[in-house]
Amino acid sequence: MSAGTSAAGTLPAAHAAGTAAPAAASAVAASALEAAWLALLRDVQLAFRRRAQLVQPLAFFALVTMLFPLAISPELTQLRAVAPGVLWVAELLASLLALEFLFRDDAHDGTLEQYALSGQSLTWLMFAKTAAHWLLTGVPLALMAPLAALSLGVPAAALPGILLAVIVGSVTLSLIGSIGAALTLGLKRSGALLSLLTVPLSLPVLIFGARATQLAINGAPLLAPLELLAALAVLAVTLAPLAASAAVRISLE
């Protein structure tokens, strides 16, 4: 990602009715990083006005996790055996659900077009939006994972490791999801298609994450899969915003 300066670039932070951001942020943003930071702040502030929306993925995660004891068995020993898989499947599905509103509002009210036309680096703006989205959905979901794990009979000693793995994994999931969301911008009934596009690409995260979780439960060191998760996250951070910005431009044409 290039953090170049754009002399003529502006980030219209206050615009269409109903989405006005603080006036202080309407100054001309001189660098891609500043623009990205403003975009991130804006997204976080707007999201807090619609807190109910933020709760939905969390509720979904809790629901999915609850399904398994009911469908399989209430025996904690049995649940502990499937806990890694259950946690990560629930995590993946909930993050898919949360992706719906990554771009939806901005595409609807024209902000996304403004971003694309602003002359600022769209890649950095995509990174900012995805980062905001991760802070608003990925982190809370990750924080719920230890609770869900406890409900599945996982020993308390495993929880820190599980939390770490889910936090790192959720970074990659958000980034990969941003590509799918950008590609399916504005398409009708895009939910199933978004899942079809995102899930295959997210499989490595699922595999390494579940492995890390299993090792944590066994009390074994989980450095190896954690490192792999971190490597995936680094790869995603460098490449995904690029792909997402290309996809957004294509979708807006």
Partner 1 sequence: MSWTWFHRLASPPYVYAFAARLTPWFAWPAALCILGGLWGGLVLAPPDYQQGDGFRILYVHAPSAWMSLMVYTTMAIAAAVGLIWRIKVAHAVAASCAPIGASFTFAALVTGALWGEPMWGTYWEWDPRLTSELVLLFLYLGYMGLRAGIEDTQRADRASAVLAVVGVVNVPIIHYSVVWWNSLHQAPSVMRLAKPTMPPSMLVPLLLMLLGFTLYFVAVLLVRLRGEVLGRERTASWIREVVSA
Q: Which residues bind partner 1 (CB under 8 A)?
A: 179, 183-184, 187, 190, 193, 196-197, 199-201, 203-204, 207-208, 211, 228, 232, 239, 243, 246-247, 250-251, 253
Closest approach of partner 1 to the CB of residue 67, in Å: 23
Closest approach of Cβ 201 to partner 1, in Å?
Answer: 5
Nearer to partner 1, 25 or 205 (CB): 205
- Closest approach of partner 1 to the CB of residue 28, in Å: 31
Q: What's the rounded Cα separation, in Å, for the pair 170 and 164?
A: 10
- Cβ contacts of residue 124 below 8 Å, gap of 6+? 1, 3, 32, 33, 35, 36, 241
Residue number with CB closer to partner 1 (130 or 251) = 251
Q: Closer to partner 1 by CB, 76 or 199: give it.
A: 199
CB of 174 vs partner 1, minimal distance in Å: 15
Min dist. Cβ of residue 143 to partner 1 (A)? 26
Confirm if 133 and 102 have CB atoms less than 8 A apart. yes
Query: What are the DSSP calls for 28-73, one per residue?
Result: PP-BHHHHHHHHHHHHHHHHHHTHHHHHHHHHHHHHHHHHHHHHT-
Which of residues 20 and 187 has its CB atom nearest to partner 1 in the complex?
187
Residue 104, Cβ density class (10 Å: 0-12 exposed, 13-18 middle, ≥19 buried): middle
Nearest-CA neighbor of 85 among 98, 63, 62, 68? 68
Minimal distance in Å, beta carbon 83 to partner 1?
16
Q: Kindly state the DSSP code that residue 21 receives in the 8-state scheme.
A: P
Which CB, 117 or 196, lies closer to partner 1?
A: 196
- Min dist. Cβ of residue 179 to partner 1 (A): 6
23 vs 253, beta carbon nearer partner 1: 253
DSSP sequence for 143-203: HHHHHHHHHTT--GGGHHHHHHHHHHHHHHHHHHHHHHHHHTTT-TT-HHHHHHHHHHHHH
Residue among 123 and 136 whose Cβ is closer to partner 1: 123
Q: How many residues does the chain have?
A: 253
HSE toward the beta carbon, residue 210, CA cutoff 13 A: 18
